[in-house]
Structure 1
Amino acid sequence: REEAGALTCPRAPQEIRELQAQLQEQHIQVEMDISKPDLTAALRDIRAQYESIAAKNIAEAEEWYKSKVSDLTQAANKNNDALRQAKQEMLEYRHQIQSYTCEIDALKGTVSA
């Protein structure tokens, strides 16, 4: 009964308006809190995207590096083969020169005799 009597009091409409205003403010506050983006989740998503891009870039860089090392290794092997072949030819030419030098010396000996 006191509650019913309190509502008929001249202050009751003012208190009701104040309570309604408080409820409305709380409702707005709740809506604002709900509508705020979840920054933690957003940062987590951004970090995941960044890490994905970084991992992709690292993989691409490693692939490029391996490709260049492979190219250089093949070029070095090719050059080593060419060098080995040139040394072999030089050795053969040296043997021919020695053979011709011996032959010339032998012919000089027969001419002077």
Structure 2
Amino acid sequence: EEEPPKLDYTDVERVLTASGVDNVTKEAAERAFETIVDDKNYELKAKSVIPKFTSKSIKIDTKVATITISPQDLRYIKRVSFQGKRCIMIEVDEDAVIEGFTLSTETLLEKAD
């Protein structure tokens, strides 16, 4: 029987960095592992960290809204910077309808530096 995949602190550091978490270093991930589990060489089972695509959902909390989304649709969510503000952008293929009202579409352009 094949052993399930495991993640060590370097894998966790790479996942956090790729996910857009600021100020993540290998040293910080190593310290976190040592603080929590007393062993920087501890490995987490990947299935314990990665949500099930079919039964779990991910909740994104902001000061103005809570968004619940299935993990397989996370590829349609992006954190972007617009006019100096952090925003969540959701890619849609159809009109967005809220309480029976169709949202209007704006084309936003920002000059690149």
Superposition TM-score, scaled by structure 2 size: 0.19
Structure with the largest fraction of strand: 2
Larger Rg over CA atoms: 1
- Structure with greater contact order relative to length (CA < 8 Å, sep ≥ 6): 2
Superposition TM-score, scaled by structure 1 size: 0.19
